[in-house]
Each structure stands twice: as C-alpha cells, then as structure tokens.
C-alpha cells in the first residue's frame, strides 16, 4: 500500500463565465504553496519528506468533490487540507470522508470573501459531525500575494505534523512480547482502544518465541557477529553491585544472549528478509519441520511499536531485556544511525504510545523512564547538605529505570552551535554516536531484581535541554486521556547527584527533570506535577512539543487531562469552540466524548 499522504483540495467559486476562470491561478497557487511548505518541513518516520497530493481538479461543486475523493482513495490520503481564496459552496465542496483529518485554509483578502466560505464550511463541518481545523491569517493580504503568512504557516504545519502521525499509525501493529508485567496496568493491552482510537492492530507473542529463536538460531548470523564485535569494542562494562558476582564465562554468555535477543525482538516486530536464507539446523528441522529458510519469521508483524514483559517470568531465570530496549529505542546501533524502534519496557504499551507520539512528531528518540521520586529542596538539603539552585531550586523529579532508556538521553549530541540536543535520528553522525557511547556503561544487572542477569545501561543526562514528558492513560468511564508536562532536564552538582542517585540504583540511567510551573493546579509546583501524574511511567521527548501533542490528541478524540501549554497556543478543530470557550479543558472532554473514537 502507498504510504499515508496529505491531500490538498483547491476549492473555487463554481460560477463559470468570468468568476471561476479568474480564480483558477490563485487557487492553484495556494495549493502548490501548501504542498511545498508541508513537504519541506514534515517528514515520515524514516526521514523522507511527507508527501502531499493535489486534487486533479479545482473543486467548485459536488461532482468535482467526488472526483477528488475518488483520486484520493487511490493515494492512501489520511488528511485533507482544503484551500481557497474566495467564496465557494460550503456543503457542496467540503470533504465528506469520515476517516480523513480535515483542515480548511481560507485566504484573508478583500477582493473575494475567503473568510465567509471558511465560516460557512466550518458550520457545515460542525453540523455534519465532521470536525475540521480552521486556518485564517490575522492580516489581510493582497490577492496577488502568494506567500504564506507566519501564523498561517504555523497552523498548516501543526496540522500536518499531527495528521502525518495519525496516518503513519493507522494500519500498523502493536506487538506485545509476553503479558502483564508485575501487575502494571499500562501493560494490560486493550486491543479495542488501540483499534478504535488509533487504527492499530494488537498482537501478542509469547516470550518463549525468543528462546525458540535463540535455540533454533533464527537470526542473521553475520549481523550477530558484527553486533558482538561492536559491543565488545564500544559497550564498556560497568560497576557490578552484586555481592555474589558471576564468573567471566557466564557474563560473556549473557552478552551474546542479549545481542541475539535484540536481533530477535527487532525481527519479530518488523521482519528481516535475511531470515529467508537462514537454514535450519538438523535438530531444528526435525523439531520444526522447516528446512529451507525461516520464511514466516522473515515477514515480521507489521509493527510500528512493541513491548517486552520481562519481569518476572522471564527475568527470574533469563537475562533481562535492558540492552535490547535501550538499543532498539536509540538512534543508532552497530550498523550506524538508524530509526528508533519504539520498544516499551515491562510491555507498557500506553507508555510506548507516548514514546511513539513523540517520535513521530519530532523524528527524535524517545526516553522511557519510571517517574520515580520527587525531591523537594528541603529533602535534598537534608540528605546532601547542599541546597539546589537554578532551575532545580523548587525541587525536581528523578526519572530512572533499569537501563532501558535510549542513549540519546545522555545529552551528548551537539548541534552546529555546540548546544546539547537530541537530534532527529537522520541527523545523527558518528561523532554523536561516539560521544553517547563514551559516557555510557553497561552494568551487570542487579540480581535482586533480575535473577537471570543481563546488562543495564548506566549514564546521567549531562545537559540542560527542553523536553516534554508524555503519558497516555486509560480511565474507566472516560476512556483514553493524555497527560504532558513541558520542562527541562537539569544538571545537578556531583555532591547532590551522587548521593541521590546511589539511594536508588547507581547501575541505571538517570535524568533529573523540572517541569515548567504556572498557576494551574497540577502545575503550581513540581510536587503537584508528580502528585497528578497518572502512572508509574512516562516518556521524554526532546523539545517543548505540548501544543503539537494537544493537536494530535484532538484528531484522535483523546482529551488532555493535564498540560502546561498556554491557552493561546492550543489548536484544535473549530467545532471544539461550540463546547465552550471559557474552560478549554472541559470543552475538550465534552467534544471528544461527543465525537467518539476516530475509527469506531
């Protein structure tokens, strides 16, 4: 199937005999300008420009709307942007497909009433239950001005980024390897939610599939040798905290196992053509009936994300999945830079979806973590003798988990100005990779948690960076909700960091996070953010992307339960205003409840 695309619909006054003919050039110019803008700034997850297609005709009435819809049906169009400089016939020209995300750009000019059409078609969208985003420039333009004003550009791109994410998710799969980890509700996979709200297929694979593939050697042997050599050269073994340490030969076996597990979990999710040529051993052939290559395994499961249960039925006797999760989620591996493959610790699919949203909106690696501890300044001073200052003066949140975080969270990548960033994965270079690896150690797993061993990444985030913490939750009686908190990673003095980090686990990766606070109840201070967070896990994405997440959530009809984005920056479908403008959070809940899941 074609990859998802955005369809541009040039809408025109249908009156022939001078009116329509005089508007063809301007209408076409708006469509071409929108296409160029989106394709220069919005990307598929593989880093290539997100494709737009323009209707084969301008649309002056129902016949041409149908011709456009027929063409778009052959192009896997997930969203439409209608553009017009003039009055047109609202319900006759609007996009009526209930499954496309919709926006309309009405040109702000005086010669022809584009604003009047925009208002009329927004009313039609609201009346027909087909919500659409309204785009209208603040300043009047001349008719021959084909530039896109900055405020219009911002709305088009926010619409396009979020719509591109929706389109890339639809039709893909979430593959949960294992079941529910330690009673964590986020790892209870709700297939109906994924299907109705996201268009995702939920699939389950037992963890024994990993042991089968290891035992039968169902992986690319050449890549395994390459990965093993790379790990020996680049993955420094770190501090072993265990009182009873394992012999070297056992540690070496665990290294080999976790590398095989990484290849195998990746192949389960997205497939690997090379498995077609991996011949079964005699024993594997006898036990499986396969002799000429692992063709079914080569297909994969069409996954866009997955998760691994691990604790405890796996980790009580087998090496943990920390190395696998860290490498799959990072922007590189032994083959160099690569697209992060979202792989959720403890099979927490809801946190995996938060990671996926961040990745699709930004092109950067997402960071999985426990939202572990709020440290008040008073508690910090009591424990360390030092009072935190700067951004950390009001306290901070310790984000830490057992070595499964993407290595991009080290903060060691630098932009052209020398600033610490998490780069779009396609911009990562060898210098960045070397820098990230240089500050990461791989500590033998704490056998108090992981009896079967394994290796956990250990690093600290070494830069102050803008980030957004994200989480989807399911609430009985409401359905899915989104939480987000924009803020910054912070660097603590060693005399604070070392004492606090060692109280938790010095063999795991640490990020210290300070959310931006404001007058809202959940954000009046750092403690309130921790207290109102809806689950034990959260995902970090580079940048302050809250406004994009809010737009994305409105497309999926998922209300936002908690955010610290200014009201004036919020951009949702025009019909949301009909549910109230005084309390945007309440209006969002009622609108999402009224319209229901996108794919119901």
Select from 132, 152, 169 the last residue of a domain. Answer: 169
Beta carbons of 435 and 452 less than 8 angstroms apart? no
Alpha helices in 439-532 (DSSP H): 494-504, 526-532
Confidence at 18, pLDDT banded by 50, 70, 90: confident
As annotated, the active-site residues are 346, 370
- Residue 86 CA to residue 106 CA, distance in Å, equals 8
Per-residue pLDDT of 42-90, as tens digits, reads 999 999 999 999 999 999 999 999 999 999 999 999 999 999 999 899 8
Confidence at 332, pLDDT banded by 50, 70, 90: very high
- DSSP category for residue 101: E
User: Do 264 and 125 have their domain in common?
Assistant: no
Per-residue pLDDT of 395-412, as tens digits, reads 999 999 987 899 999 999
Tell me how crowded residue 203 is: count the other CB atoms within 10 A of its CB: 18
Task: Tell me which H or E stretch contains 484.
Answer: strand 479-490
Q: Which residue range forms the structural domain that includes residue 105? A: 5-169
* Helix, strand, coil % in the chain, rounded to nearest 5: 40, 20, 40
In this predicted structure, the answer to whether residue 121 has a pLDDT above a threshold of 80 is: yes
Burial class for 346, CB neighbours closer than 10 Å (0-12, 13-18, 19+)? buried
Select from 169, 201, 229 the last residue of a domain. Answer: 169
Average pLDDT, the chain: 96
User: Do 298 and 269 have their domain in common?
Assistant: yes
Per-residue pLDDT of 540-563, as tens digits, reads 999 999 999 999 999 999 999 999
User: Do 108 and 183 have their domain in common?
Assistant: no
Burial class for 103, CB neighbours closer than 10 Å (0-12, 13-18, 19+)? buried
Report pLDDT for 600. 80
- Identify the CATH number of the domain in which residue 76 sits: 3.40.50.1070
Report pLDDT for 547. 98
In this predicted structure, the answer to whether residue 390 has a pLDDT above a threshold of 60 is: yes
User: Do 480 and 591 have their domain in common?
Assistant: yes
What predicted TM-score, i.e. pTM, was given to this entire model? 0.97
User: Do 164 and 102 have their domain in common?
Assistant: yes
Confidence at 505, pLDDT banded by 50, 70, 90: confident
Confidence at 380, pLDDT banded by 50, 70, 90: very high
- Residue 365 CA to residue 406 CA, distance in Å, equals 7
CA dihedral 519, 524, 526, 530 (to 10 degrees): -110
Confidence at 2, pLDDT banded by 50, 70, 90: confident
- Residue 374 CA to residue 512 CA, distance in Å, equals 10
Give the range among 279-283, 385-389, 521-525 with minimum mean pLDDT.
279-283
Report pLDDT for 481. 98
> Does residue 99 lie within any of the structural domains?
yes
Average pLDDT (96-109) is 95
Report pLDDT for 400. 95
Tell me how crowded residue 150 is: count the other CB atoms within 10 A of its CB: 10
Report pLDDT for 9. 98
Domain count along the chain: 2
User: Do 122 and 216 have their domain in common?
Assistant: no
Report pLDDT for 469. 98
Tokens of 409: 């969270």
In this predicted structure, the answer to whether residue 575 has a pLDDT above a threshold of 60 is: yes
Report pLDDT for 114. 82
Report pLDDT for 423. 98
Tokens of 392: 């950390």
Alpha helices in 128-238 (DSSP H): 150-169, 191-193, 208-215, 221-234
Altogether, the residues listed in the chain come to a count of 600
User: Do 160 and 303 have their domain in common?
Assistant: no
- Residue 180 CA to residue 201 CA, distance in Å, equals 18
- Identify the CATH number of the domain in which residue 292 sits: 3.20.14.10
Percent pLDDT > 90 in the chain is 91
């Amino acid at each position: 199937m074609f990859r998802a695309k955005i369809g541009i619909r040039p809408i025109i006054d249908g009156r022939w005999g001078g009116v329509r003919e005089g508007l063809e050039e301007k209408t076409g110019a708006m469509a071409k300008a929108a296409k160029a803008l989106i394709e220069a700034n919005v990307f598929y997850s593989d880093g290539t420009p997100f494709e737009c297609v323009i209707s084969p005709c301008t649309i002056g009435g129902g016949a041409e709307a149908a011709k456009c819809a027929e063409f778009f049906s052959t192009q896997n169009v997930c969203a439409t942007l209608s553009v017009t400089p003039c009055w047109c016939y609202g319900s006759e020209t609007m996009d009526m497909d209930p499954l496309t995300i919709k926006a309309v750009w009405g040109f702000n000019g005086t010669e022809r009433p584009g604003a009047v059409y925009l208002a009329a078609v927004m009313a039609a969208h609201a009346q027909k239950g087909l919500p659409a985003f309204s785009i209208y420039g603040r300043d009047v333009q001349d008719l021959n001005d084909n530039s896109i004003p900055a405020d219009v550009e911002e709305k088009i791109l926010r619409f396009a980024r979020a719509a591109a994410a929706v389109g890339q998710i639809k039709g893909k799969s979430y593959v949960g390897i294992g079941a529910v980890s330690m009673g964590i509700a986020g790892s209870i996979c709700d297939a109906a939610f994924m299907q109705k709200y996201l268009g995702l297929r939920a699939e389950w694979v037992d963890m024994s599939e990993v042991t089968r593939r290891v035992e039968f050697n169902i992986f690319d042997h050449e890549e395994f040798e390459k990965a093993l050599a790379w790990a020996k050269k680049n993955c420094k073994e770190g501090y072993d905290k265990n009182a009873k340490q394992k012999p070297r030969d056992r540690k070496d076996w665990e290294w080999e196992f976790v590398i095989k597990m990484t290849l195998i979990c990746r192949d389960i999710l997205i497939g690997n053509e090379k498995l077609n040529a991996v011949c079964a051993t005699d024993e594997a052939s006898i036990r499986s009936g396969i002799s000429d290559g692992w063709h079914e395994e080569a297909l994969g499961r069409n996954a866009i994300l997955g998760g691994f249960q691990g604790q405890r039925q796996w980790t009580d006797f087998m090496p943990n999945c920390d190395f696998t999760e860290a490498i799959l989620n990072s922007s590189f591996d032994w083959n160099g830079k690569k697209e992060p493959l979202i792989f959720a610790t403890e099979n927490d699919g809801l946190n995996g979806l938060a990671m996926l949203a961040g990745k699709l909106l930004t092109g950067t690696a997402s960071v999985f973590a426990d939202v572990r501890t709020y440290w008040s300044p008073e508690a910090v001073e009591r424990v360390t003798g030092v009072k935190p200052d700067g951004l950390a003066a009001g306290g901070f949140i310790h984000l830490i988990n057992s070595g499964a975080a993407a290595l991009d969270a080290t903060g060691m990548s630098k932009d052209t100005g020398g600033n610490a960033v998490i780069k779009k994965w396609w911009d990562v270079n060898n210098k960045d990779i070397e820098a990230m690896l240089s500050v990461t150690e791989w500590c033998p797993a704490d056998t108090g948690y992981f009896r079967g061993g394994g290796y956990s990444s250990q690093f600290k985030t070494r830069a102050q960076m803008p980030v957004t913490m994200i989480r989807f939750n399911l609430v009985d009686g409401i359905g899915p909700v989104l939480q987000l908190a924009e803020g910054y990673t912070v660097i603590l003095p060693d005399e604070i960091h070392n004492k606090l980090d060692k109280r938790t686990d010095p063999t795991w990766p640490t990020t210290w996070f300070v959310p931006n606070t404001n007058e809202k109840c959940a954000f009046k201070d750092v403690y309130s953010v921790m207290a109102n967070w809806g689950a034990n896990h959260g995902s970090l994405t580079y940048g302050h992307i809250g406004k994009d997440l809010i737009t994305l959530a409105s497309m999926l009809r998922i209300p936002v339960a908690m955010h610290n984005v200014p009201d004036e920056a919020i951009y949702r479908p025009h019909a949301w205003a009909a549910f109230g403008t005084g309390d945007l959070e309440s209006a969002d809940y009622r609108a999402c409840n009224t319209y229901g899941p996108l794919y119901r």
